[in-house]
Amino acid sequence: MGSKRRRRQPKAPHAKRRSNEVDKRGEAPNERRSLRKAYEQLRKRLSGHTRLLWVLVILVAGLVLASWKIGFNPNSQLWKLAGGIPGASRLSWSAVLANVATAPESQLGPVLVEAHRILVLARDRRIKLDEALVLDAGKRALSAAHRGSDLEYLAWQTASAAISYASALQVSFAVPAAVPDCFRTKPQWVLAQAINDTQTTIAVKPIFSSCRLDLDLARGEKPRTYEHGFSCTGCLVTYGGEELAVTTPSFTFQRSVFSFSIRSEPPADGRKLTETLLASKFTMAET
C-alpha cells in the first residue's frame, strides 16, 4: 500500500494579517525607545538653554550694578562684549536706556549717542523694548535740550527718536505708509463742546483719519487755524522743529504714529507740543 499523503490544511484567511500585527507589536518597543531617546535629547537641550539664560541674566545684572557704582560708559569693551552675546542685546540696550535717566550731566553725552542709535535701530528692526524706559529716556533728553548747551543737538535727536520709537511700539510697529496729505482730504467735523441754550455759535473741530500730517510750516505759507482743537486718528505725524503749520490750543491723537527729527530748539509752541505729547503717551498735545 502506498503511504498516504497528508493533506495540507488551508491557511486561515486572517493568518497573514495576524502575523503583520505581531510584527507591528514587535516593532513598538523600538519606537518607544526612539521616542524616549528624542525626549531625553530635547530635555538636555532645553536645560542647557535655561542655564545659559541664567548666566546672561547674572552677567548683565553684574554689569548694571558695576555701572551704577563706578559710572557708565556705553562704548566700553565690556558692554560691547555683553551686547555681542546672542540674546543679550535687548538686555544691554535696556541698561543703556535706563542709564539715560540717571547718568550725571558730565557723562550724559556718550549715553545719548548710544541711546539714539539703539532707538533708531530698534524701530527699524521692530524690536520691542520696555516702554517706560523709552519714555523716561525721552523726558531726560528733553530736560537736557537747552538752547546753546553742548548737549542740545544730541538731546533733541534722542528725544525725537524716543517719541518715534514709543509711538510705533504702541501700534505694534504698524506704521502707516503711502498715505495722503491730511490737508488734501476731507475731515469729519464734530462738536468741540456741549451746546447750551445761551450759545449763539457752535464750536466744532476736525477729525482727520488715515493721512499724513506734516507739522512743519512750509516757507511762504501761513499756519492753518483751528480755534477749538484738532484731532487725528490713525495718522502719520511728522515734525522737524520748524514753526507749527497748525495753530490750535490742543491736539488729540488716536492710534497715530510720530516721526520726529528735531535737531535744535524749536519755537516755544513746538517745544510745548513735544513735551505734552511725550507726557500724555501720544494721546494729546498742547501748544
Is residue 196 domain-shared with residue 113, that is, in the same domain? no
Is the residue at 230 inside a domain?
yes
Model pLDDT for residues 44-95, shown as the tens digit of each residue? 655 555 666 666 667 666 665 655 544 445 444 444 454 454 444 666 788 8
Model pLDDT for residues 90-109, shown as the tens digit of each residue? 667 888 898 898 888 888 99
Is residue 190 domain-shared with residue 136, that is, in the same domain? no
For the full predicted model, state whether its pTM sits above 0.75: no
Is residue 198 domain-shared with residue 144, that is, in the same domain? no
Is the residue at 3 inside a domain?
no
Which one-letter amino acid corresponds to residue 85?
I
Strand partners, 260: 239
State the total domains in the chain. 2
Is residue 196 domain-shared with residue 268, that is, in the same domain? yes
Chain centre distance of CA 62: 26
Is residue 282 domain-shared with residue 190, that is, in the same domain? yes
Is the residue at 26 inside a domain?
no
**What whole-number distance in Å separates Cα of residue 278 and Cα of residue 136?**
10
Is the residue at 84 inside a domain?
yes
Instruction: Print the domain residue range for 222.
Output: 182-286
Q: At what angle do helices 268-279 and 152-170 cross, to 10 degrees?
A: 40
| Ramachandran quadrant class, 145 (left: phi over 0; alpha: psi -120 to 50; beta: rest) | beta
| pLDDT value of residue 105 | 86
Is the residue at 60 inside a domain?
yes
The burial of 151, by beta-carbon neighbours within 10 Å (0-12 exposed, 13-18 middle, 19 or more buried), is given as: middle
Is the residue at 30 inside a domain?
no
Give the closest residue to 159 by CA, choosing from 269, 264, 254: 264
**What whole-number distance in Å separates Cα of residue 206 and Cα of residue 226?**
8
Query: Cell 549717542 maps to which residue?
Result: 113
| pLDDT value of residue 51 | 63
Is residue 150 domain-shared with residue 235, that is, in the same domain? no
Residue at which a domain ends, from 111, 139, 155: 155
